[in-house]
Amino acid sequence: MNQLHNDLRVLRAVVDEELRRRWDRSLPFADALFDRWERADQLGFGVGSSVYDSAHVFGSVAVGEETWIGPFVILDGSGAALTIGSHCDVSAGVHIFTHDTALRCVSMGQAGAQRSPVNIGDGTYIGSQSVVTPGTIIGSRCIVGANSFVNADVPDRTIVAGSPAVPIGSVEGGGVDVRCVYPTDQ
């Protein structure tokens, strides 16, 4: 092994030990090494937002303030504009697309790629491993359950889950009195 490789191994061990000591976590080397807030700033995201180094960001992507973009996320604004509001969480492994090539493939190249913007409002949570399709509008203060396939608009203050995602509840109240309400709770 060469010296650079050895130096990186030592650095990895030091960084990992510090993360475990301070935050009780171990991350992939790049996510541990690079500053998430600095990357968000370099991408022109809003003040206080962060994006993991393992997240892929393509094309026209705008993110508001205090928004967290988790590890292994894909923000693909290469088909049209992708806008995410302030105070949002986009959890690990979420994929958000502004283009779709399925019809191009099944038409044997006769149809073009479908391109349409995606908008996500303020204060919205997107659960891990969810997929958001082109042309989707997710309102403000929404919750998308983990592993959901969001292919239709989601009104403000709606909780959706499933594949395809369907409404399962609502977000009511605000501030410290905010709560999730499900039909069985009413």
pLDDT digits (tens, 9 = 90+) for 18-39: 989 998 988 888 888 889 999 9
**Is pLDDT at 100 greater than 80 in this prediction?**
yes
Average pLDDT value for residue range 47-55: 97
The whole-angstrom separation of Cα 61 and Cα 44 is 9
**Is pLDDT at 186 greater than 70 in this prediction?**
no
- 77 has which bridge partners? 59
Are 56 and 74 contacting, i.e. CB atoms less than 8 angstroms apart? yes
Q: For residue 89, which of 51, 116, 57 has the smallest C-alpha distance? A: 51
pLDDT band for position 185 (50/70/90)? low
The whole-angstrom separation of Cα 81 and Cα 127 is 21
pLDDT digits (tens, 9 = 90+) for 133-157: 999 999 999 999 999 999 999 999 9
The whole-angstrom separation of Cα 83 and Cα 116 is 12
The whole-angstrom separation of Cα 30 and Cα 71 is 11
**Is pLDDT at 122 greater than 60 in this prediction?**
yes
Percent of the chain with pLDDT over 70: 98
The whole-angstrom separation of Cα 9 and Cα 15 is 10
Query: Is the pTM of the predicted complex or chain greater than 0.85?
Result: yes
